[in-house]
């Protein structure tokens, strides 16, 4: 670790972590450029870059900026949000399985959207609002049930109650689909897989605005979050207001996963895998929020690129689900041996 001091301030950084973050940012950017260039009318990467710099011809500019760039931007931002949310909840729970995928928040967001699609029949704006409301209400219910007077919310208890909530919400989602008309059920099932197909600036812009508020808020709490991994008693001894910090981080994490799910659907396993991959790449412990952010963006952009080049068109959620299932099996195997 190195320390840079200037103007009375100091900045700590590690060369390996900085190199990993740079490499992840490069992977995410390259994957996004290749996504923009993929399709029925391929566009070479140099031409994509030329358009993004404002030097392309009108036809290529229309294909890139109007038809394809919103999809790539939505994928990058959703991956960023899921990676950061996963890092926050895994650090709060001190459990590698403490991901919003598994503790019910993503499922609650999906339930809110399904109620709007299948029961209320709302449009895109209403579906987005219901998705966010579902995640918030689920998180509030899980937090209140997990809360103990005098002891606050313990990480393990939060995970166990969240898993139970996810199971109940999954059952409700399945029931809603079985009771729906065929056309509505198909639309709902497609949305539940997590997809970037047809995404435009109506999804990308609100997601970007949400992240502009939530990402800085979460990063500002990275230091007390890391201290919290030492245990509640040790964190209090270091002057960290444990329960207040945990509540603020929960709000930020839920907002991140709700915004991502509203824009791209419940894309599985990115929030679970990104923080663990970031930890293994940097070889560091603690709350690695920035590496997790870049890992999430790189994972989702790469998965979208794979989905676009498969022989059969599939949503990006199918690709992340397959890759995430393999990763989860490996993680459980390694944990079991330890």
Helices of type H across 94-123 = 105-114
For residues 266 and 317, is the Cβ–Cβ distance under 8 A? yes
Q: What is the pLDDT of residue 28?
A: 93
pLDDT at 48: 86
C-alpha 82/C-alpha 76 separation (Å) is: 10
Which residue in this structure is represented by tokens 């590496």? 291
Q: Which two tokens stand for residue 262?
A: 């509203």
φ, ψ at 2 (rounded to 5°): -120, 150
d(CA 221, CA 155): 17
What is the residue whose two structure tokens read 């995928």? 101
Q: What is the reported pLDDT for 9?
A: 44
Rg (C-alpha) for the chain, rounded Å, is: 20
CB atoms within 10 A of CB 292: 30
Q: Which residues of the chain have pLDDT under 70?
A: 1-13, 149-155, 226-242, 286-287, 331, 335-338
Mean pLDDT of the chain: 81
Q: Would you state the structure tokens that stand for residue 248, as one six-digit string?
A: 């603020």
pLDDT at 238: 63
Buried b / exposed e along 106-128 (16+ C-beta atoms within 10 A): bbbbbbbbbbbbbeeeeeeeebb
CB 35, CB 305: distance < 8 Å: yes
What's the length of the chain?
A: 338
**Residue 85 and residue 249 in contact, taking contact as beta carbons nearer than 8 Å:** no
What are the CA-CA distances from residue 301 to residues 25, 236, 264 (Å)?
11, 39, 12
Predicted TM-score (pTM) of the model is 0.86
């Amino acid at each position: 670790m190195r320390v840079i001091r200037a103007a009375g301030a100091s900045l700590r950084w590690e060369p390996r972590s900085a190199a990993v973050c740079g490499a992840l940012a490069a992977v995410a950017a390259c994957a996004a450029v290749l996504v923009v260039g993929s399709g029925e009318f391929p566009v070479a990467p140099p031409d994509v870059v030329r358009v993004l710099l404002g030097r392309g011809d009108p036809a290529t500019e229309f294909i890139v900026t109007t038809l394809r760039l919103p999809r790539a931007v939505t994928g990058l931002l959703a991956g960023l949000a899921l990676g950061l949310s996963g890092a926050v909840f895994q650090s709060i729970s001190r459990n590698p399985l403490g991901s919003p995928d598994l503790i019910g928040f993503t499922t609650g967001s999906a339930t809110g959207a399904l109620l709007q699609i299948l029961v209320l029949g709302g449009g895109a704006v209403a579906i987005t609002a219901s998705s966010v409301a579902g995640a918030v209400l689920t998180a509030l219910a899980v937090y209140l049930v997990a809360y103990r007077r005098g002891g606050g919310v313990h990480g393990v208890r939060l995970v166990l109650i969240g898993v139970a909530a996810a199971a109940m919400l999954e059952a409700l989602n399945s029931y809603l689909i079985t009771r729906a008309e065929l056309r509505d059920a198909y639309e709902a099932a497609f949305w539940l897989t997590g997809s970037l197909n047809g995404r435009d600036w109506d999804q990308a812009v609100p997601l970007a605005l949400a992240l502009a508020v939530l990402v800085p808020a979460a990063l500002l709490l990275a230091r007390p979050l890391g201290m919290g991994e030492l245990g509640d008693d040790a964190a209090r001894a270091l002057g960290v207001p444990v329960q207040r910090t945990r509540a603020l981080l929960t709000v930020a994490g839920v907002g991140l996963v709700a915004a991502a799910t509203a824009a791209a659907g419940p894309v599985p396993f990115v929030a679970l895998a990104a923080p663990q991959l970031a930890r293994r790449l940097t070889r560091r412990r603690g709350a690695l929020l920035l590496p997790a952010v870049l890992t999430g963006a790189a994972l989702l952009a790469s998965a979208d690129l794979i989905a676009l080049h498969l022989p059969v068109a599939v949503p990006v959620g199918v690709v992340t689900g397959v890759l995430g299932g393999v990763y989860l099996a490996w993680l459980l195997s390694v944990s079991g041996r330890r």
